[in-house]
Amino acid sequence: MDKELVIKSSPTEVEIALLEGSKLVEIHRQKTNNNSTVGDIFLGSAKKLMPGLNAGFMDIGHRKDAFLHYTDLGPQIKSLIKFTNAVMKGSYNSPMLDHFELEPDNPKTGKIDQVFDKNTHVLVQVLKEPISTKGPRLSCEITLPGRYVVLTPFTDIVAVSKKIGSVDERKRLKVLVESIKPKNFGVIVRTAAEGKKVADLHNDIKELEEKWKTMFLQLKQTKTPDKILSEIDKTSSILRDILNDNFNKITVDDKDMYQSIKDYMGSIAPDKVKILQQYKGSRHIFDHYDINRQIKASFGKTSTMSSGAYIVIEHTEAMHVIDVNSGPKMQRKDQEEAAMAVNLEACEEIARQLRLRDIGGLIIIDFIDMRSADNKTSLFNKMRDFMESDRAQHTILPLSKFGLMQITRQRTRPEVNIDTTELCPACQGSGKVNPSILVIDNMVRDIDYIISSRPKSKIKLHVNQFIYAYLKNGFPSVQMKWYAKFKKWISISSNANFHLFEYKFFDEADDEIRLS
């Protein structure tokens, strides 16, 4: 499937939209003065230990102390503490780890107060941004991500992404990396490394070594709390993490941003620079690529699918709940077959919504009830297939006996919430209506339903006078396009008493065609 990145830049904000097959699947927004810290490495100190939680709170200079759980210490925590203190005291003066004596691995089950004392200094990396009343979440498993590999200090383990399907290719990459990696550094080989030459991997590792040396020099001259290394900006990090052979276009509307991305792509993927282009059209770039309409259609409490079925997304403090509804237009007589069709369509939309909104934590999905065990298994497998392209770590459980599916999904940033309602012109702003951009889509869906349910009936559409003008004007007009699409002429009449988005359908006897 073709992938496309559309980037809109302004003096105050950068918006990044990821399209798969022209469909919006991710939206990222970053203020130009944004202080996002995910991936940043700090020199922190233990401020308060909580043995009951088996966790501690670290001072990294944030207004709220950061949370560090024992399970996020990692096996190499003792080596990390030893290295941090040795560099700060000046007793270890080499930036690399060739002559550093590693400590024994930390056990998976233990107590944090057996590893940390109050005011213990250690390097930490931010896993999650502050969310609501919570401070950042930290890890002591330091990682330096590159284009093809991730460098991990204080270990010699080489791991290869399981998403690389060929066993021979995984073996080849492992042998190559083991021959070029620095001593006492582990390496995780990323999916993007598939098919790459040893020179590409070697250059990537060398760049990450330089980052580590920069960290070393910063650590020698700093005091807690302080930032040791910053992650690259959002646009560059997305390009680094997801750019692959499936991308066929990257479009940006700002000249300076275009040049910046071109320079960055030239360093990480010179062969891909040709797919970068600067948008120079007169329309807003998000309107040109139909992104604004998709945003309005996708965010909000409900999301309607092409069949007319819809999902309802609710949020609580403990979990997110998604309810699948067939709507009033499910035609199939076989209830099991109809339920399966709606559930499968919902699977794809739910997988997209989780990525689009970056919903994390526990997600409960209430699918339409099905009796067939085979259908339930097929639904579970389909959900796994649709979630395969999701970069966030996630776990999916099969349907329970109550027809509920549980998903846990990692979140590293606050959930994306976009208000899609508009001030109602009919009530001078006293209420809200659904997005105006979707009214024609709703009409098309209703006409399709009427034709399928009563194919011989004539259809008359009554609308507000402004919508009437929109449907009738131009060549070809919207009315003509409908005739070409449905092979049936839709009569249109205006009614000045209708509010702007109100419309009704009537048959040849002027009886209203009710849709629900």
User: Are residues 222 and 109 part of one domain?
Assistant: yes
Residues in a beta bridge with 14: 9, 30
Instruction: Let me know how long the chain is.
Output: 516
Q: Does residue 241 form part of some domain?
A: no
DSSP string, 272-304: GGGGEEE---SS-HHHHTTHHHHHHHHSSSEEE
The reply to whether 51 and 181 lie within a common domain is: yes
Render pLDDT for 193-210 as a digit per residue (tens, 0 to 9): 998 899 989 999 999 999
Q: Do 472 and 448 reside in the same domain of the chain?
A: yes
Taking only the tens place, the pLDDT of each residue in 100-156 is 999 999 998 889 999 998 888 999 999 888 877 788 899 999 999 988 999 999 999
Are 405 and 426 in the same domain?
A: no
pLDDT at residue 181 in the model: 94
What pLDDT is stored for residue 163 in this prediction? 84
Domain limits for position 438:
422-506
- C-alpha 36/C-alpha 39 separation (Å) is 9
What's the confidence (pLDDT) of residue 267? 79
Residues 491 and 427 grouped into a single domain: yes
Model pTM score = 0.63
Specify the 3-state DSSP secondary structure of 7: strand
* Long-range pairs for 469-474: beta carbons < 8 A, 24 or more residues apart: 469/494
Is residue 138 within 8 Å of 125, Cβ to Cβ? yes
Which structure tokens are listed for 193?
């490394």
Residue 234 maps to a domain: no
pLDDT score of 202: 94
**What pLDDT score was predicted for residue 257?**
86
Q: Is residue 238 part of a domain?
A: no
Question: Are 328 and 475 contained in the same domain?
Answer: no
pLDDT score recorded for residue 423: 61
Domain stop point among 345, 377, 409: 409
- Tokens for 431? 């209420």
Kindly state whether residues 332 and 404 are assigned to the same domain: yes
In this structure, are 221 and 318 located in the same domain? no
Contact indicator for 469, 478 with CB cutoff of 8 Å: no
Q: What is the pLDDT of residue 29?
A: 82
Question: Does a structural domain hold residue 239?
Answer: no
403 and 366 share one domain = yes
Angle at 444 between CA 441 and CA 447, to 5 degrees: 150
Q: For 513, which DSSP code?
A: -
87 domain-assigned: yes
- Non-local (6+) Cβ contacts of 163 within 8 A are 191
What is the spatial order of strands in the sheet that 185-189 belongs to? 144-145, 149-153, 185-189, 158-160
Question: For the domain that residue 328 is a member of, what is the CATH number?
Answer: 3.40.630
- For the chain, count helices (H), then strands (E): 12, 26
What is the model's pLDDT at position 159? 95
Residues 140, 79: contact at Cβ < 8 Å?
A: no
pLDDT for residue 314: 92
Return the CATH number at 274: 3.30.420.60
Residue 186 lies in a domain: yes
Counted domains in the chain: 4
Q: Are residues 194 and 49 in the same domain?
A: yes
Q: Do both 193 and 65 map to the same domain?
A: yes
In the predicted model, residues of the chain with pLDDT beneath 70 are 32-35, 234, 245, 328-333, 412-437, 516
* Last residue within a domain, chosen from 353, 387, 409: 409
Residue finishing a domain among 357, 388, 409 = 409
387 and 262 share one domain: no
DSSP for 216-267, written as a single string: HHHHHT--SSEEEEPPPPHHHHHHHHH--TTEEEEEES-HHHHHHHHHHHHH
Q: Which helix (H) or strand (E) holds 460?
A: strand 459-463
Q: Do the domain assignments include residue 514?
A: no
Residue 515 lies in a domain: no
394 HSE (CA, 13 A, CB side): 25
